[in-house]
Amino acid sequence: MIRIQKVIFFYEQRIEAPLDKIQNVNTSQTSPLSKFLNFGDVTIGTAGPRGTIVFKDISNPNTLERQILSERSRYVAGLRAEETYLTQSHAAQDLRTIIFGPQDVPPDAAPPPAQGPSAVAKSSTAPPRFQKLRELYRYFLPNSRIDENGKITWRKHWIELVQTTGLLSLLWLGLTIFILIQTLSPTTLIANFPRSATTFLLIIVIALILAIWYLYEDWRNDIYVLDENNIFDIYTKPLALGETKENAPLDKIQDITFIMPNPLSKLLNYGDVIIRTASEKGEFTFYKVSNPSGVMQEIQNRQHTFEIRRQQENARIEATRRRTELYHWFSTYNDLHQQPPPNLPPSPPSSKP
């Protein structure tokens, strides 16, 4: 379920909650006019920390209420049917193994042969000078999104770096130009400028370079990570001054929202992604990430995949439990079947009147 609020060119907010998190749906028509024109508010209670999501002044609120409850019931029924199917398929496979023995793997299902060392080296090795240039390029111009080994890493948008270092960079540029003109040009800007003052300005320029580098490293090391099981908020201070790493499992995520709060964020396509969870931290915020709607969609896709894997694992565990239970039943039946029947006392003759 999605609620989108937009002010064109100025603001955008998107709130999502899974259908299975919906607990109740209520409608409200508080005036005779709303009853006559058939509009009102629809309040949706969820299990997430947001609590309620309100659709204001919706046409045909009672129809929308029925549609939401119907879609929720259908979605939950689909999840249960999928879980039942997985449980039955695992149980059937285990029973076939018990009765007929392990089945041979067909040739077309065999894993592909591993590549030789020469093939791997050929695909991953680059000339050293190009490798160094690539590393230098990636250091100063890192990607805002990196996909690597099933893990996605996001950095803050470059506008955050500009806002943080812009004033210092302008000051550094101005002082550098002034010093160069004052020392190298035949026509100085200020006559009889003291050498000690030039030295002092040079020290300020070096201090500004160090400050800009520190802020750049601070921006570069603030990352958000999504893997197959968890989300991470990692902040590493420059010069190894400390690191903060917080995470939450994907199954603890309850709802996700993104906000693009101003026209500049809409123009440059960046915003905040707010993730509310049932973990100890509670709320995670991915600040000023590029393409926030894409970030939210990626997290939801990983959630769905994680849920499918968990259902398959639960089905496998349940099938193993049932297999063990059936094995004990059949073993007990077989033992009793091979034993001689017990000597029972003869039944007394029936007395006829």
Q: Is the dihedral of CA 58, 59, 62, 67 positive or negative?
A: negative
Q: Which amino acid is at 236?
A: T
Q: Which amino acid is at 178?
A: F
The tokens of 308 are what?
């499918």
From first to last of its 353 residues, the chain has per-residue pLDDT tens of 566 655 555 556 666 666 767 767 778 777 888 777 888 888 887 765 556 777 777 788 888 888 888 887 887 787 777 767 766 776 666 666 655 656 654 444 444 544 444 443 344 455 666 777 777 777 888 888 888 888 999 999 999 999 999 999 999 999 998 888 877 766 666 666 777 888 898 999 999 999 999 999 999 999 999 998 899 999 888 887 888 888 889 888 888 888 888 888 888 999 999 998 887 778 899 999 999 988 988 998 888 888 888 887 887 787 777 777 776 776 677 677 777 766 656 656 655 55
pLDDT at 168: 94
CATH code reported for the domain at 1-100: 2.30.29
Q: Would you say the pTM of this structure is higher than 0.85?
A: no
Instruction: Answer yes or no: are the C-beta atoms of 156 and 219 closer than 8 Å.
Output: yes
Domain assignments of the chain as residue spans, ordered by start: 1-100, 150-302
CATH code reported for the domain at 150-302: 2.30.29.30
pLDDT at 219: 92
Helix (H) or strand (E) holding 40: strand 39-46
The string of pLDDT tens digits covering residues 252-281 is 888 888 888 888 888 899 999 999 888 777
**Residue 30: how many CA atoms within 13 Å on its side-chain side?**
7
Q: Which residue has the tokens 């059949």?
A: 330
Q: Which amino acid is at 166?
A: G
One fold for both 1-100 and 150-302? yes
Collapsed DSSP state (helix, strand, coil) of residue 136: helix
* Among candidate residues 262, 260, 320, the one with its CA nearest the CA of residue 295: 260
The string of pLDDT tens digits covering residues 117-173 is 444 334 445 566 677 777 777 788 888 888 888 899 999 999 999 999 999 999 999
Determine whether 245 is exposed, middle or buried from the number of CB atoms within 10 Å of its CB (0-12, 13-18, 19+): exposed
Q: Which amino acid is at 349?
A: P
Residues near 209 by Cβ (< 8 Å), separated by ≥ 6?
A: 172
Determine whether 339 is exposed, middle or buried from the number of CB atoms within 10 Å of its CB (0-12, 13-18, 19+): exposed
